[in-house]
Amino acid sequence: MNEFGYSGLLKRRVLVVEDEAINREILGNMLSESYDVSYAENGAQALEMLRESRIRYSLILLDLLMPVMSGEELLGKIKEDELLSGIPVIVMTSEKPAEVKSIKMGADDFITKPYDSPEIILARCERIIQLYEEKSILRSAEKDDLTDLFTHEFFDEYVRQIDSYDENAYDDAIVLNIEHFHMINEMFGRGTGDEILKKVADMLVHKFENGVCIGCRPSADYFYLYVDHRDSYDGVFDGMSEELAKYSHIPKIRLRAGIYQNVDKGISIDERFDHAKLACDRIRGDYTKQISFYSKELNDADLYNERLINDIDDAIANRDLVVFYQPKYGIQSDKPVLRSAEALIRWKHPELGMISPGDFIPLFESNGLIQKLDHYVWAEAASQIRKWKDEFGYTLPVSVNVSRVDIYNPDLEKRLLEILDDNDLTTSELMLEITESAYADDAKGLTDVVNSLRDKGFRIEMDDFGTGYSSLNMITGIPIDVLKIDMKFIRNMNKDEKSLKLVELVMDIARFLNVPAVAEGVEEASQVEKLKEMGCELIQGYYFSKPVPAEEFNRFIVSAKEEKA
């Protein structure tokens, strides 16, 4: 067995094309011990054998001077035929000029007549067969069978070669994805899916045919391209989705591209395409955009968000999430009276420091993790209400937020009641804040949920009123116990006539609904006086206190008890 794994049990087949019988016999004697040998007396007979036989030939030994069809003519036909061009050819001649011409036509080697060196002939045959079989194996590993693009491994190698030609050249990494491709396979079959993949590969080749471009398909529905840098990609991918839809007769096919321009060649190839893929995935589901560009700022923001997502469970387990409380005061009496508080979450990260709720709350709302946050706050707030009752003999209702994700959870009511039961509290002591936009999403569904909660004794506050999309008609039908005026209007009410009028309008709506109004974000005495004149019953904001930890909030309870005494 040689180094490439040949053995006597698996003989390669060699075709000897030679018009002289004695030469055929000589070559047969040399080769038959190592190979299965077939014979043809001229080029026409050889061509017929090659095209009709099911035998796969590993090598052709070709005489040039023959009747009917010369070896030179046969060589030309072999190299023009896609099925035959992969068979190596060694020409046999005694004419030096013919050797050079044959090599230029595509012959792989030559053997000089007369055949007086069996060892050299066998060595050349073995060498050419081995080179071609190695090349064939490499080609099969190099290309994706379906799309004829490079495999991922070979793609990376070619990128390295491109970089080595000119390290200062500017290149772009592109990642293209077929949105919801798995659904195409499930609905229309894998055959249709395969045709779509081939069509995408073909379109990409034509889109970037003018310039350096290599591509691969690293996974089922992703394509990678490494191309000459372009300052603009306007129009490059336009129409591809439409063309694909027309080709496949599937109307809603969407392609999206992530582009990392002028790649940093100091980072790995994987990192470059990770950046492009990050940009591509950022617009998943966004049908208003087809292209997204990578930037370091966006990448840093994504990494930061991913860190927060990964750390949420540890934050809960280690109590790095801390509930702060902001007091709400009634202002219609001679002196402000502590009526309740709002629970507000803060994150003291052990490595990142204090994290703003504006960083993590919208993030968790977008991915559903807000439920974990809500449940944590509910339990902490209920536990704190219990502590204040036990320590000070004082009952202070606390408002907690209920996200849009929670409000449609069928276990919401059960979860809240269990928390109250665990702390021996009543439903009147834990108030629920729901944003106006949640009502706008599904007024009928939400109304049913809220009515059920109110039937159990919970009080419902509509938060951020005035920032959503509620119609006056809808407001008359929603069940609420408190209306909260958004702080944006409060902050500008003494500076902006429009904001002042909006506050007055909300107060009128509260009176119409016969519910108290809470003004958020109150910071100035003039605002307090104006709100009191309007009939606003409750106020929260920095005028009284910023949100503070429970231990610091104790002073408000002590002061409220003393005033009652």
Residue 247: alpha-carbon gap to chain centroid: 26
Domain with 521 in it: what CATH number? 3.20.20.450
* pLDDT score of 134 more than 80: no
Q: Which is nearest to 257 in space by CA: 232, 289, 226?
A: 289
Decide if pLDDT at 139 tops 70.
Answer: no
pLDDT of the residue at 164: 76
Query: Is 390 found in the same domain as 283?
Result: no
- Choice between 474 and 450, residue whose per-residue pLDDT is larger: 450
Is 107 contained in some domain? yes
Listed range (202-216, 257-271, 326-340, 375-389) with the worst mean pLDDT: 202-216
Asked if 128 and 59 count as a contact pair (C-beta separation under 8 A), the reply is yes
**Residue 127 domain-assigned (yes or no):** yes
Q: Cα separation of 329 and 12, whole Å?
A: 95
Q: Is the pLDDT reported for residue 442 higher than 70?
A: no
What per-residue confidence (pLDDT) applies to 252? 79
Q: Is 135 in the same domain as 166?
A: no
Judgement on whether residues 348 and 490 belong to the same structural domain of the protein: yes
What is the pLDDT confidence band of residue 439, given thresholds at 50, 70 and 90?
low
pLDDT single digits (tens) 510-565? 898 899 999 999 999 999 999 999 999 999 999 999 999 999 999 999 999 888 76
Q: With beta carbons less than 8 A apart as the criterion, state whether 425 and 386 touch.
A: yes
pLDDT for the residue numbered 8: 36
**3-state class (DSSP) for residue 159:** helix
Q: What is the pLDDT of residue 474?
A: 60
Q: How far apart are CA 99 and CA 120, in angstroms?
A: 17
Question: Which DSSP string corresponds to 260-317?
Answer: E-S--TTS-HHHHHHHHHHHHHHTTT-TT-SEEE--HHHHHHHHHHHHHHHHHHHHHH
Report the percentage of the chain scoring pLDDT > 70. 92
Q: What is the pLDDT at residue 153?
A: 83
pLDDT of residue 368: 87
SS3 state at 446? helix
CATH number at residue 172: 3.30.70.270
Q: Is the pLDDT at 2 greater than 50, yes or no?
A: no
What's residue 195's pLDDT?
92
Higher-scoring residue by pLDDT: 8, 164 = 164
Run of H or E residues at 157:
helix 152-165
Alpha helix segments (H runs only) across 324-411: 357-367, 370-392, 404-407
In the three-class reduction of DSSP (H, G, I as helix; E, B as strand; rest coil), residue 424 is classed as coil
Q: For residue 3, is pLDDT > 50?
A: no
Query: Which of 226, 259, 294 is a domain's end point?
Result: 294
One domain, residues 45 and 179? no
At a CB cut-off of 8 Å and minimum separation 6, what does 192 contact?
A: 184, 185, 248, 250
pLDDT of residue 497: 87
Asked if pLDDT for residue 166 goes beyond 60, the answer is yes
Q: Which domain holds residue 92?
A: 13-141
Q: Residue 561 domain-assigned? A: no
From residue 497, give the alpha-carbon distance in Å to each of 61, 500, 504. Answer: 98, 5, 11
Residue 203 has pLDDT above 60, yes or no: yes
* One domain, residues 122 and 44: yes
Residues 130 and 195 in one domain: no
Flag whether 299 is in a domain. Answer: no
Which of 250, 117, 255, 106 shows the shortest CA–CA distance to 174? 255
Q: What's the pLDDT tens digit per position in 7-60?
A: 334 678 889 998 888 888 888 888 888 888 889 889 899 888 888 766 778 888
Question: What is the model's pLDDT at position 157?
Answer: 83
* Cα distance between residue 78 and residue 50, in whole Å: 9
Question: Residue 345: how many CB atoms within 10 A of its CB?
Answer: 19
Residue 207 resides in a domain = yes
Question: Residue 280's CB: how many other CB atoms inside 10 A?
Answer: 24
What is the enclosing helix (H) or strand (E) of 129? helix 118-142
- The neighbour count for residue 203, using CB atoms within 10 Å, is 19
Supply the pLDDT for residue 54: 63
Q: What is the CATH number of the domain that holds 131?
A: 3.40.50.2300
Q: What integer pLDDT is reported at residue 10 of this predicted model?
A: 60
What's the total number of domains in the chain? 3
Residue 476 — very low, low, confident or very high, per pLDDT cuts 50/70/90? low
Domain boundary among 85, 114, 141: 141
**For 296-310, what is the mean pLDDT?**
88
163 and 131 assigned to the same domain: no
Domain final residue pick, 252, 277, 294: 294
* pLDDT at residue 5, as a whole number: 33
Position 443 pLDDT exceeds 80: no
Closest CA to 190 of 240, 245, 132, 146: 146
Each residue's pLDDT tens digit, 359-395: 999 899 888 899 999 999 999 999 999 999 999 999 9
Report pLDDT digits (tens) over 390-434.
999 999 999 999 998 898 889 999 999 999 999 999 999 999 998
> What is the pLDDT, as a whole number, of residue 564?
79
Average pLDDT over residues 236-261: 87
Are 105 and 71 a contacting pair, CB within 8 Å? no
Provide the whole-model pTM: 0.63
Mean pLDDT in the chain?
Answer: 86
Q: 286 lies in a domain?
A: yes
Same domain? For 377 and 426 the reply is yes
Does residue 6 belong to any structural domain of this protein? no
146, part of any domain: no
**Could you tell me if 284 and 346 lie in one domain?**
no
Are 89 and 177 members of one domain?
no
pLDDT for 458: 95
Specify whether 19 is located in the same domain as 55.
yes
Please tell me whether residues 458 and 515 are part of one structural domain: yes
